[in-house]
């Protein structure tokens, strides 16, 4: 697992928590921040997956 995958998973989780908390409290700003964090985390996980695939391809 690449470090970007781990960092992305953390951001995705943090975003989910923020989004849920914002929805529960009616705080639209917090909910929007959570959504943005989740998207950023998913992108970062994708970058990590690509780096991992490239590294594996170069090994073979």
What would the pLDDT profile of 3-30 be if each residue is shown by its tens digit?
Answer: 999 999 999 999 999 999 999 999 999 9
Q: The whole model's pTM is what?
A: 0.83
Displacement of CA 33 from its chain's centroid (Å)? 12
DSSP 2: -
Residue ranges of the alpha helices (H) in the chain?
3-25, 28-59
Asked if residue 60 has pLDDT above 80, the reply is: no
Going by C-alpha positions, the residue among 20, 26, 23 that lies closest to residue 38 is 20
Burial class of residue 44 (count of CB atoms within 10 Å of its CB; 0-12, 13-18, 19+) = buried
In the chain, where are the structural domains located?
A: 3-59
The predicted structure's pLDDT at residue 23: 97
């Amino acid at each position: 697992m690449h470090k970007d995958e781990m960092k992305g998973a953390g951001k995705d989780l943090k975003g989910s928590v923020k989004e849920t908390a914002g929805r529960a409290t009616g705080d639209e700003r917090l909910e929007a921040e959570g959504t943005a964090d989740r998207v950023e985390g998913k992108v970062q996980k994708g970058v990590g997956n690509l780096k991992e695939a490239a590294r594996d391809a170069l090994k073979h």
